[in-house]
Amino acid sequence: MIAQRPTWLALGLPLPLVLALTLAVSTQVGGCSAVMQHLSEHSPLGALAVGGVRAAGHQLPISEEEELAYGGAIAVMVVQKYGGVVEDEALLRYVALVGNAVASVSDRPKLRYHFAVLDSDQVNALAAPGGYIFITRGALALMKSEAELAGVLAHEVGHVTAKHALKIIQNLKSARAVTNAAASAWKDAAAFSAVVDGFIADFLEKGLPKDTEFEADLIGTRLIAQVGYHPRGLRDFLKTMADAHKATPHSKFAATHPDTGRRLSLIDAELKQLGGLDGPRNAERFVAQTRPAAKPPTAAAPVSAERRP
C-alpha cells in the first residue's frame, strides 16, 4: 500500500521545513502482506528471500542498488522473526510521517525509507540497509511522547545513513571471497544467502557493534533537534528503558548493548553542544495515535529487549 503524501503541518513543524518535506518525501507504509509484497517486487534480495528470484550483479564498493537488495532480504527475515507487521493503516502512516520527517534532514534525504511496526511485545527497533526501519509494539507501549518516537526512529535512520550494517556486510563478503571473480558475485543464490545468513546470525542475536550505537545516538539527537522536536526525545526513551531493566542487570540485553549510562552521558554532551535547544514533545498526540495498537505486554509475555534501539 502506498500512503498519501504526509500532512507535515500535522506535526506542527516550521513552515519552510513543511514545504521542503512535502515536495521531497514520499511515504510508504503497509501491513505485513504489503511489506512482503513491496520487498518481493522492488528489492532483488527481498525477492530472492521471498520467492527465489535471482538478484542482479554488483560492483565493489556496494552500490545503492545492492544495498537495497541486501536490505530487502534482511527486512523479510526481520518481519518473519518478529511474527509480522501490525495491520493498522493509521498507526503505520503516523509512524512513517514522523520517521520521514527526521529522515528528510539526514545525510541521505533522497533514499526512500520504509517504516513498519512489528507485531511484537519485545522492546526493540531495528534498521536494515536501504532504509527499512522497524519498531515494535512493545517499544511504542514504553514510549511517552512523539519526541521519543522521533528520537528512536532518528537513531535507526542514523544507522542507515552511516551504513553501519552495510559495512558489516561488506566485511562478510570479503571474508567469503564474494567478489566479482567469485560466482558472478551475488547473482549466485548460495553466495548471496551466505552473506545474509552470516549477517542475520549476529544482527538479531548480538546487535550492531557498540560504537555504532553511540554514533547513531548522536546522529539521532541532532536530527530530531534539526527537525524541531525536543532534542531530549531519544534520551528520555533510553532513560525509561534503563529504569525498566534495573531489575535484570545480567540480562542478555545488558550483555549485548552499550552501557546506558555511557550512552546518556554522550547524549548529554551533545545536548550541551546544541546549546539548550527546546521543542515540543507532543505527548498527547502520541498517545492518541499509538495506544490502541501498542498494547502493553501481558503478564505471561513480559517485556524483553534483545536489541535496544
Kindly report, residue by residue over 101-154, the tens digit of the pLDDT: 999 999 999 999 999 999 999 888 999 999 999 999 999 999 999 999 999 999
- Domains of the chain, by residue range, sit at 8-290
Rounded CA-CA distance 34/56 in Å is 23
Is there a contact between 142 and 244 (Cβ–Cβ < 8 Å)? yes
Packed helices 32-42 and 64-81: angle between N→C axes, nearest 10 degrees? 150
Is there a contact between 36 and 47 (Cβ–Cβ < 8 Å)? no
Sequence-distant (6+) residues with CB within 8 A of 63 are: none
Count other C-beta atoms under 10 Å from residue 39's C-beta: 27
Structure pTM?
Answer: 0.77
> Running DSSP on this structure, what letter comes out for residue 28?
B
Confidence of residue 176 (pLDDT cuts 50, 70, 90): low
pLDDT the model gives residue 141? 94
Residue 134: strand, helix, or coil = strand
pLDDT the model gives residue 250? 55
